[in-house]
Structure 1
Amino acid sequence: MIADEATARSYVASLCDDTAMQKLDQFVDALIAESEQQNLIASATIPILWQRHIADSAQLLEYVPRGTGLWLDLGTGAGLPGLVVAIMRPEMRVDLVESRKRRIEWLERMRDELELDNCEVIGSRLENVETVPAAIISARAFAPLDRMMAVAERFSTRDTLWLLPKGRSAAQELELLSVKDRKMFHVEQSRTDDDSGIIVGKLARK
C-alpha cells in the first residue's frame, strides 16, 4: 500500500512523464491555496495530499489502456480524479461534469493555467448534459451507486468501463444494484487505503 507522501509521489511519477509531474506540482500548490477560499478538500488531508488525492486518482489509470476514448468524470469537484487524469494523459479527452459555480470557475482556471487542451469543463447538472458515449466513466464522490447508475447509464455503452472509488462503502454499495448488474462489477483494493475499494465493471444491460 502507498503509505506516505514520498511513496505516493514516486508511484505517480512511474505512471507519467516529467512534464505531467511539473503540472501536478502546480496543481497541488493551487489546490492548497484555493482550499483556503472554498472547501475543495478536507483540511486534514492537506499534509497527505499526494497520497490521499493525487495517487488515489492516478491509480485509476492502471485500468485504462493508452489510446482509450472519452473519459467522463462525474461531479468532479476539485478535479479529482478528472484533472489528474487530464494532466497525466494529455492524449486522452477528459470531460469534467460539475454543477457548482465556484468549482466550475476553479476547474476552468486550472484547465487554462495548466494548458490542458484535452480537457473540457461542463458546468451543468448531469441531467442536462448532452448524451455522448464514454469509454470511461468515473466518479469519486457523486452519489450512491444505484442513483448514479440511474442518471449516468445513458453515457454508457457495452464497452464503457466504470471506475468508481467508493472508500469503505464499496462492497455495500454493490448490493444496491440488481443481481444481473452486480455480477458485472467487482471491488478492487485501493492502493492508498487498506479499507477502501474501487468498484470496477461494465453494465450488463447495455
Structure 2
Amino acid sequence: MSTVSDAGLAQQLEQACDTLGLSVTSVQINLLLAYLAQMQRWNRTYNLTAIRDPEQMLVQHLFDSLSVVNPLVRKFDSAVTAKLYDIGSGGGLPGVVLAIMRPAWQVSCVDAVEKKMAFVRQMSGVLSLPNLSAKHARVEDLTPADCDIVISRAFASLNDFASLAGHHVSNDGTLVAMKGKLPEDEIQVLHQQGAWQVENVQPLQVPQLDAQRCLVWMRRSQGTL
C-alpha cells in the first residue's frame, strides 16, 4: 500500500474508533493497520477472506470487530485479565483485533483450518502480541478451557455454537455470537434445546457499514451444569 492510502486508512480507522467511543492509542492504530496489511499479503496465497479491497476489509473486518470491544469491556472489567476463545476465527476475526485492543486479555483463536491458524500465529509474533495464541483444532475436540468469554463471528447457528463450544465457558462466563439481523429462528431452536438461553440481544452500529449487526449474549439455563 502507498503512504497516501495508509494515511487515508489510518484516518478512517481513527474516526471509526471515535464513533464507537473507543479509547485507542497510536500504537494500537499502527498494529491494526499492520494486521490489515498482513491480511492482504497472506490473502494472495492463503485465501483468508473473500474480501480483497483494503477499504472493504477495513470496514467489514476491522470496524465490525471493533464494534464488539466496548460491549465486552462493559461485561468484563478491562483491568482484570479475561480469558477469551474466538471460535471459527478464520484469519483472526475478531480475536486478533481484541488482543490488540485489550492487551490484558488472554485471547485464543480456534479454527480447524491450519493455514489460517498459521497466519494468526504469525500475527502474534509480527505484531508482538504475547496475549494472542492460535489453536488448530475442532472446537469440540479441545479440552474444556474455563473461559470468561467464548465468541464467534459467522461460525454456526446459535444452537450449534452452544453445543460445540459451550463446554469452554466458565460457570460465570458467557457465550457471545456476532450476528447480522436478529436470528429469531435460531433463538427459538436454542431455547427448545434447553441448555442455553439468550440473555440479551444487543444491536450494534458498525461505522460505514449499511447492514444490520447484533450481539447475542447467551447464558446457561438455571440448573444446567
State the TM-score, normalizing by the size of structure 2. 0.80
1:181 offset after TM fit, Å?
6.0
| Residues 1:187 and 2:207 are matched in the alignment | no
Give CA deviations for 1:45-95 in whole Å, capped at 9, x if unaligned. 643222211121112111223024201110110100000001111111101
Specify the alignment match of 1:174 in structure 2.
187
Q: 1:157 to 1:113 in 2, by over 3 A?
A: same
If you compute each CA radius of gyration, which structure gives the higher value, 1 or 2? 2
Cα 1:119/1:201, change in 2 over 3 Å: same
Superimposed CA distance per residue, residues 120-141 of structure 1 (whole angstroms, 9 cap, x where no aligned partner): 1111111221211110110002
Gaps of 5+ in 1: none
Matched, 1:107 2:124: no
Amino acid at match of 1:185: E
Shift of 1:169: 5.4
Residue of structure 1 in register with 2:3 after alignment:
none
**Equivalent position of 2:104 in the other structure:** 91
Name the Cα RMSD after superposition: 2.2
TM-score if structure 1 supplies the norm length?
A: 0.87
From 12, 29, 33, the counterpart of 2:41: 33
C-alpha distance in 2, partners of 1:136/1:16?
Answer: 22
Q: Deviations over 1:131-171 (max 9, x none)?
A: 11110110002211111111111112332122211113533
Say whether the 8 Å CA contact 1:170–1:187 is kept in structure 2.
no
1:132–1:155 Cα contact (<8 Å) kept: yes
CA distance in 2, matches of 1:132, 1:23: 28
Question: Which consecutive unaligned segments of at least 5 residues does structure 2 have?
Answer: 1-8
Structure with bigger RCO (C-alpha 8 Å, 6+ apart): 1
The aligned length equals 202
Three-state SS of the structure 2 residue aligned to 1:161 is strand
Moved over 3 A (4+): 5-9, 179-184
Given that residues 197 and 220 in structure 2 are in contact (C-alpha distance below 8 angstroms), is that contact kept between their aligned partners in structure 1?
Answer: no
